Amino acid sequence: MAIWGVLRSLFGGASTASSNEEIDSFLEESHTETVAQIVAAPVEEPAFEAPQEAQWWVPRGAPVMAPRRADDKKGVVEARLYREIVGILDDPNLDLPRVPHVSQRALGMLRNDTVNFSELAKVIGTDAALAGEFLRIANTAAYRRVSEVKRLDQALPRLGERKIRALLIATAARGLSIRNGDVEQEWSEELWRRGLASAAICVEFSKDSKVAEEDAFLAGLMHDIGMLAVLKVVFEYRAKTGERTTRPVFDQLCEEWHQHIGLRLADAWNLPNPIPEIIASHHKRPSQDDPNRDLRLLTQFSDVCCSMMEFAPYTPFDFFELDCVRRLRITPEPNMLRRLAALPEQIGEQLEVE
């Protein structure tokens, strides 16, 4: 699975220009009276019934309103292991993963009041793979104008500061993945796929809100980044002691520490607002006057979807009764059911893009 394939799917979607031209042509050729009649005619939305196997939002088993907590009934060995790793996580001097040098320099330049795209291109251009992917995204249908761009200093202004920042942070986050061919790699890939699925869900449903696409993407991708940081600690502990962490212990460590460690990582990486706030408290129920209300609700909604689509451990949520679902005005009407039914395939295609 290639992260840049997913990013191209999210940020480089197909243009709607051709369909708009077809509509204009139709209107020009049609009689005004006929068009007026069509516009005035009430449209009755047809009923929609997704195949039973596609109704992932229908709970399997007794529906619940909250996720099950990790089991804290550990044996003596696991309890000792848990305490030792907690001691590492609680260390204020814990060595957190760093942003790659090129991305760090580029992100620093994006914090300036005025961004010099020529200078930014020189920095990003020192990483050939990174530069190549920025060029590919700039030449997708969503950004390509008259002709293909072949220079990075031409490509970056097309994308804009916010998307450049989001893409740089995403590639840095991918660097947290573990590739040791063992169980830690399996857990790492599982968490990364969940983050990408969450990002895709947040971007899709941000269209119904005032949340910026880039903020939705980063919130979905990064809100559980603390879990990957916890996994790094677990991996390094095993390398040092030879002792393997069991999945129940890892799950409980993640549940209790991912927001705290995630916020420390966000601060160390100097992530843009409001992402650190979302990372630190994304399980909190937002008040109506919370400036990050919709973004927090989107993140919670993406967690529910990921669980019920089994990108995360399954929970039989009472989907349409959940607070985040109701407050985002997601209801079982035909158009919404179509969007929900299409989500698994849509996400699967994005995750498989190479």
Q: What are phi and psi of 45, to 5 degrees?
A: -70, 125
Whole-angstrom Cα distance, residue 50 to residue 129? 42
Whole-angstrom Cα distance, residue 199 to residue 221? 5
Give the model's confidence band at 76: pLDDT under 50 very low, under 70 low, under 90 confident, else very high. low
CB 226 within 8 A of CB 279: yes
Q: Is a pLDDT exceeding 80 seen at residue 218?
A: yes
Q: Is a pLDDT exceeding 90 seen at residue 313?
A: yes
Whole-angstrom Cα distance, residue 56 to residue 14? 27
The burial class, CB within 10 Å (0-12 / 13-18 / 19+), for 266 is: buried
Q: How many residues are given for the chain? A: 354
Record the tokens describing residue 56, joined without a space.
């992932």
Amino acid at 244: R
Helix (H) or strand (E) holding 271: none
Helix 3-11 vs helix 128-138: crossing angle, to nearest 10: 30
CB 14 within 8 A of CB 141: yes
- In this prediction, residues 58-70 reach a mean pLDDT of 87
For 87-136, what is each residue's pLDDT tens digit? 999 999 999 999 999 999 999 999 988 999 999 999 999 999 899 989 99
Whole-angstrom Cα distance, residue 259 to residue 99? 19
Strand, helix or coil for residue 250? helix
- In this prediction, residues 35-45 reach a mean pLDDT of 53
Q: Is a pLDDT exceeding 60 seen at residue 1?
A: no
Give the model's confidence band at 24: pLDDT under 50 very low, under 70 low, under 90 confident, else very high. very low
Dihedral Cα 65, 258, 185, 202, nearest 10 deg: 60
Q: Is a pLDDT exceeding 50 seen at residue 83?
A: yes
53: DSSP letter: G
So what's the pLDDT on residue 68?
A: 74
Whole-angstrom Cα distance, residue 163 to residue 18? 25
Strand, helix or coil for residue 317? strand
pTM here is: 0.85
The count of other CB atoms within 10 Å of the CB of residue 167 is 25
CB 124 within 8 A of CB 107: no
Q: What's the distance, Cα to Cα, between the start and end of the chain in Å?
A: 6
Give the model's confidence band at 220: pLDDT under 50 very low, under 70 low, under 90 confident, else very high. very high
Greatest distance between any 2 Cα atoms in the chain: 81
Record the tokens describing residue 344, joined without a space.
């698994």
| CATH numbers and ranges of domains, the chain | 3-7+48-95+182-352 (1.10.3210), 98-174 (no CATH)
Using a pLDDT cut of 90, give the percent of the chain over it.
69
Q: Is a pLDDT exceeding 70 seen at residue 35?
A: no
Whole-angstrom Cα distance, residue 79 to residue 72? 9
Where are the strands (E) in 234-282, listed by range?
Answer: none
Give the model's confidence band at 312: pLDDT under 50 very low, under 70 low, under 90 confident, else very high. very high
Record the tokens describing residue 275, joined without a space.
């992402």
Helix 213-222 vs helix 183-206: crossing angle, to nearest 10: 160
Amino acid at 77: V
So what's the pLDDT on residue 27?
A: 38
**Residue 33 or 247, more confident:** 247
CB 138 within 8 A of CB 159: yes
Whole-angstrom Cα distance, residue 257 to residue 11? 31
Q: Is a pLDDT exceeding 80 seen at residue 36?
A: no
For 136-170, what is each residue's pLDDT tens digit? 988 887 777 767 889 999 999 999 999 999 999 99
- In this prediction, residues 195-204 reach a mean pLDDT of 96
Whole-angstrom Cα distance, residue 310 to residue 267? 30
- The C-alpha R_g of the chain, in whole angstroms, comes to 23
